[in-house]
């Protein structure tokens, strides 16, 4: 079974808000970790501990918006939802343009919260599966020798065996042997499938 995102991270400087969210979420069987500041969250944050983030827009020190920017800079795939006061809705809409999943307006409606969290976990687990697939794909390509990688690059570029042999100063039979090794290591049987695997590394 692949690992799944299972933790809701709450970041809000208001203890009452943190407690309220924790009670609501734990009552719905979610695992919750809460932090009083963005700085405290970042001190514990690890990319290999997937989850979802609920964060207040306005906080002393690093704001929720700045935390979002920091996570973007770290190439985090963690889904983010913002907690907003009434006057922050336009700002919250702007955060969604930067990748936030949604925003919760105070006071919280339990049904809305539950629906948003469910949707965020769907996104988190989809992101996690994509990351795992990419790591497995990169590991498979990493099994190729430097020479096999050179041959693969030329196959993808549409070069024929004779042209590849001329490019690399090796015999056609050696090119054919490299080709066979590449196909075996990448677990493909046709050139079309080989192209798909090779080009997937650029996506």
14-63: per-residue pLDDT in tens?
Answer: 999 999 999 989 988 889 999 999 999 999 988 777 789 999 988 999 99
Higher confidence at residue 78 or residue 12?
12
Q: Are both 175 and 76 inside the same structural domain? A: no
Tally the domains of the chain.
2
Of 111, 133, 155, which residue constitutes the final position of a domain? 133
101 exposure class (CB count in 10 Å sphere: 0-12, 13-18, 19+): buried
Mean pLDDT of the chain: 86
Q: Are both 32 and 99 inside the same structural domain? A: yes
Q: Are both 121 and 147 inside the same structural domain? A: no
Report the percentage of the chain scoring pLDDT > 90.
Answer: 42
Q: Is the pLDDT of residue 75 over 60?
A: yes
- If pLDDT is split at 50, 70 and 90, which confidence band does 4 have? low
Q: Are both 85 and 181 inside the same structural domain? A: no
Q: Are both 13 and 67 inside the same structural domain? A: yes
Question: Would you say 124 and 50 are in contact if contact means Cβ atoms under 8 Å apart?
Answer: yes
Higher confidence at residue 117 or residue 99?
117
pTM beyond 0.85: the answer is no
Q: Are both 15 and 50 inside the same structural domain? A: yes
Higher confidence at residue 139 or residue 154?
154
Q: Are both 13 and 46 inside the same structural domain? A: yes
Range of the domain at 26: 7-133
| Within-domain flag for 116 | yes
CATH number at residue 148: 1.10.10.10
Report residue 80 CA to chain centroid gap. 12
Q: Are both 181 and 161 inside the same structural domain? A: yes
| Within-domain flag for 2 | no
Query: Residue 56 contacts by C-beta under 8 Å, 6 or more apart in sequence?
Result: 11, 12, 13, 14, 17, 64, 82, 83
CA-based torsion, 73, 79, 83, 89: positive or negative: positive
Q: Is the pLDDT of residue 146 over 60?
A: yes
Q: What is the rounded CA–CA span in Å between residue 160 and residue 182?
A: 15
């Amino acid at each position: 079974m692949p690992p799944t995102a299972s933790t809701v991270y709450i970041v809000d400087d208001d203890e009452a808000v943190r407690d309220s969210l924790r009670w609501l979420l734990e009552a719905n069987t979610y695992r919750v970790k809460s932090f009083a500041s963005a700085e405290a969250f970042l001190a514990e944050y690890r990319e290999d501990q997937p989850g979802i983030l609920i964060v207040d827009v306005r906080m002393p020190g690093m704001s929720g918006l700045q935390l979002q920017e920091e996570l973007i800079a770290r190439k985090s795939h963690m889904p983010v939802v913002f907690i907003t006061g009434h006057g922050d809705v336009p700002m919250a809409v702007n955060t969604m343009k930067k990748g936030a999943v949604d925003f919760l307006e105070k006071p919280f409606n339990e049904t809305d919260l539950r629906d948003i969290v469910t949707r965020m976990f769907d996104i988190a687990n989809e992101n996690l599966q994509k990351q795992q697939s990419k790591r497995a794909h990169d590991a498979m390509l990493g099994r190729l020798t430097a020479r096999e990688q050179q041959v693969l690059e030329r196959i993808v570029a549409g070069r024929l065996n004779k042209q590849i042999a001329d490019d690399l100063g090796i015999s056609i039979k050696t090119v054919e042997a490299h080709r066979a090794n590449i196909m075996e290591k990448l677990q493909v049987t046709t050139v079309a499938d080989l192209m798909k695997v090779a080009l997937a590394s650029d996506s």
